[in-house]
Amino acid sequence: MTDKELIIQLREALHQHNYNYYVLDNPTISDFDFDMKLKQLQTLEAQYPEMHDPNSPTLRVGGEVTKNFQTVVHSQRMYSLDNSYSKEDLLDWETRIKKLVDGPIQYTCELKYDGASISITYKNGTLFQALTRGDGTQGDDVTANIKTIKSVPLKLQGDYPNEFEIRGEIILPFKGFEAMNEERIAAGEEPYKNPRNTASGSLKLQDSSEVAKRPLQCLLYSIVGDHTGITSQFDNLEKARSWGFKVPTEAKCVQSIDEVLEFVDHWDVARHHLPYEIDGIVIKVNDLQQQAELGYTAKAPRWAMAYKFKAEQVSTLLNHISYHVGRTGAITPVANLEPVELAGTIVKRASLHNADQIAKLDVRLGDTVFVEKGGEIIPKIMGVDLSKRPMDSLPTTYISECPECQTPLTRTEGEAQHYCTNAEGCPPQIIGRIQHYISRKALDIEGLGGETVALLVNAGLIKDAADLYTLKIEDVLPLERMAQKSAENLIQGIELSKQIPFERVLFGLGIRYVGETVAKTLAKHYKNVGALSVASIEELEAVDEIGIKIAESVYAFFRNENSIRLVSRLVSYGLQLQLSEEAMANQTTLLSGERIVVSGVFESISRNELKALIEANGGKVVSSISAKTTYLVAGANMGPSKRQKAEQLNVPILTEQEFLEKL
């Protein structure tokens, strides 16, 4: 056997041994023999550099240094899941989905791993790219770091597709986490707080050899891609396992919501015996065709639900209440607590939401309060231990003036929050609006963060987002921690933001009630800020998905002198306040005002491509048939109830070919 043939043989053998050890937990050779084979391969690869393979087992030890992680757009969005906290929530969810799909529904129940989400692309059976979740639309390329995780296969086995993505969670098992902390304590360093944050932080370490030292695991749960031949979520898991991925075997396919509830009850107790953290159960409609029928809301798939186990609750002392001023002038009372550990983190503050919530709970200074994490993310006060209330306790009096600028607060009838109306003179509002403008989902200006915005405002260099475009390097150099290179990057980042598309600039303006989805809808409908700015409330409300509150807010924004001046200046500085020519070229009004239901399996075009075609031509894709439905586009295997309902309501039914001919 030649040396080059031996290199190939050693690689295949080491891939298999790695799989046996880290995925199957069933090693077939000793650690010593594995290390000897690895060293032999390293020696041979050094002798034959032309045999380099980016997925060689020798690269598991890391060594690649990434100073700046490149941001990459996900080929398909990584949605978050809707959460439920009670069995009633799950029953309500079942009721909703049964109205939208035909036939009996099976469910796949999976453990909800508490780690860092990852999406890995494979091409021709080898690992190509790994992206963090990011904001769901785009994530950071952490491929070099992911390759060091032993349970992530570099080469696949079996009947895998030519190209696909697989999604899962990077976790740090308790045993490995404890070992890491023992090392840190022995070295006189602070121990890590919890496995989840440590796993997440590991993905962004610049030196991949440091990541390789951490006992991370990758647990996979979802294959994404067309033409995979997979028809159900449970098949999804079994296929992934057969290709070499580490897929926990605890998942179960069940026939009813009652069996889902049994699974939930079992793991609410049994989770304490797992080698890693879970914080709930994920329930998915098993049939992928039914998943496609159910589709997505703006934020989450309709076909999945996360059941979160009851949050941990602790008690601690309320030292004082402070008041935070948001970018819209909304006042949020914040409870400042005696620090206490909760769900693996130290909690010092919790939101009290508004004056009504304070009155409802009768929260007072000096109270011992019960705190838990809402959805195990944001701490909130659940109640007061009245047995420990001081004798001289007095009810809390809500503030009447802005804590920052002393402007009298207002409260509109029907609204829970108080507001400071001094929009142009209240520093937190000014800073907050600009921080929103530069946030990741808006202008995402590289080199400019929230702290720098505050420094710029406090130094008198900017008062609104348009002022950013007047800054020069010499203006920002005197700022704290600002060197020549960072000043240059900041100015360059501001200049590059002029290429950000219209809908994100519109979102960045911070119009009340105009989130990402609404901004896209308005940009698509009006095509430029001029047309949007002169629209009446009635015209705005006539746009799909725009209600009266949004319409009134947008109308008021474009009749405010400061808003008009801001938008006018942004236009003059070259910001994209109209749809690009490319976006305009791909749009028509052929289906304007039409509400179209898409159902079944299609041959010449994927369901997602079909929906994109409808939206690009001005139509709206809706999930259920009603009297307002313009027509139903019917593919193969469409459920009989949809056809029956369409016929009852005299909704025209088009085949795939008829619809494409119509376009």
Q: What pLDDT is stored for residue 638 in this prediction?
A: 78
Does domain 3-61 fall under CATH 1.10.287.610? My reply is yes
Supply the pLDDT for residue 543.
Answer: 82
CATH number for region 83-308: 3.30.470.30
* Catalytic, out of 112, 150, 284, 380: 112
For residues 353 and 341, the answer to whether their CB atoms sit within 8 Å is no
112 is catalytic: yes
Average pLDDT over residues 266-271: 91
CATH class of segment(s) 427-499: mainly alpha
For range 453-468, the mean pLDDT: 94
CATH architecture of the domain 502-585 equals Orthogonal Bundle (1.10)
Torsions phi, psi for 197 (to 5 deg): -65, -35
Q: What is the helix, strand, coil percentage profile of the chain, to 5?
A: 40, 20, 40
- Per-residue pLDDT of 175-195, as tens digits, reads 998 888 888 888 777 778 788
Least confident of 298-307, 344-353, 493-502: 344-353
pLDDT of 421: 92
613 φ/ψ angles, rounded to the nearest 5 degrees: -60, -45
Q: Rounded distance, CA 7 to CA 10, Å?
A: 5
Q: What is residue 43's predicted lDDT score, i.e. its pLDDT? A: 80
Where do the CATH 2.40.50.140 domains begin and end in the chain? 313-388
Centre a 10 Å sphere on the Cβ of residue 297 and count the other Cβ atoms it contains.
Answer: 12
pTM of the predicted model, to two decimals?
0.69
Q: Above 90 in pLDDT, residue 92?
A: yes
Question: How far apart, in whole angstroms, are the C-alpha atoms of residue 445 and residue 113?
Answer: 33
Q: What percentage of the chain has pLDDT greater than the value 90?
A: 45
Q: Which amino acid is at 321?
A: I
pLDDT of residue 585: 64
CA dist., res. 522 & res. 534, Å (int): 13
Strands 595-599 and 620-622: parallel
Tell me the per-residue pLDDT of 102-150, one tens digit each, with 9 for 90 and over. 889 999 999 999 889 999 999 999 999 999 998 888 889 999 999 999 8
Q: Which part of the chain has CATH 3.40.50.10190?
A: 595-662
| Strand-pair partners of 131 | 119, 141
Per-residue pLDDT at 459 exceeds 50: yes
Question: Average pLDDT over the chain, rounded to whole?
Answer: 87
Q: What is the pLDDT at residue 262?
A: 95
Task: Provide the pLDDT for residue 436.
Answer: 93
Residue 465 is classified by DSSP as G
Comparison of pLDDT for 228 and 166, the residue scoring more: 166
Position with higher pLDDT, 649 vs 26: 649
Q: Which fold has domain 313-388?
A: OB fold (Dihydrolipoamide Acetyltransferase, E2P) (2.40.50)
What mean pLDDT is predicted for residues 281-307? 89
Interhelix angle for 87-98 vs 257-270, to 10°? 150
Domain 595-662: what homologous superfamily? BRCT domain (3.40.50.10190)
pLDDT of residue 531: 92
Choice between 364 and 372, residue whose per-residue pLDDT is larger: 364
* Beta-ladder partners of 316: 369
d(CA 611, CA 292): 11
| Helices (runs of H) and strands (runs of E) counted in the chain | 25, 20
Q: What are the tens digits of pLDDT across the range 550-564?
A: 999 999 999 999 999
- Check if the beta carbon of residue 3 is closer than 8 Å to that of residue 26: no
**Range in 25-29, 224-228, 382-386, 516-520 with the lowest mean pLDDT:** 25-29
Structure confidence at residue 353 as a pLDDT band (50, 70, 90): confident
pLDDT band at 376 (very low <50, low <70, confident <90, very high): very low
Beta carbons within 8 Å of 200's beta carbon, 6+ residues apart: 115, 116, 170
Comparing 579 with 336, the larger pLDDT belongs to 336
pLDDT bracket for residue 260 (50, 70, 90): very high
